[in-house]
Structure 1
């Protein structure tokens, strides 16, 4: 059990500064996402990897992956904020492509 807790601590130590920086640099994240909730979700997500796999992921690559996940989380609810008219316009634009 101690090993699992220490692995999570290591994950948090790697993920936390990345999330802090991404939130600081991106207003969309500040508006749409809860930082603590995202950290928890990311720790759970990356906890699926073995410690060796996590060590193999560079800081740059980890930042890139976390940024992509946060973008997806931030925009996933955006369509729910549209009015029926805006949804119709969106549907028309998608059909034309």
Structure 2
């Protein structure tokens, strides 16, 4: 997986209005221009913020992505995504990159 490419995509989606609009209209088409694996594309289109953070993506980028583009956009839902009920894993909100 390419953490750098994921981070570049997330940054662009949080600061560029045209990119946000293209992603909203057709996320799959928008993501085709980036060197991403199918698993990475699935994390982005599925708003899998836990998977993104476990891949080493900066937590601030995943939070911005969620707030800007997620269908839910509620921070309680974001936190539930990071810590599914019953999970005993730590929340990756301040994870250091390996």
Report the TM-score range of the alignment, normalised by the length of the smaller protein.
under 0.3
Structure-2-length-normalised TM-score = 0.25
Please say which structure displays the higher CA radius of gyration: 1
Structure-1-length-normalised TM-score = 0.25
Larger helix share, 1 or 2 = 1
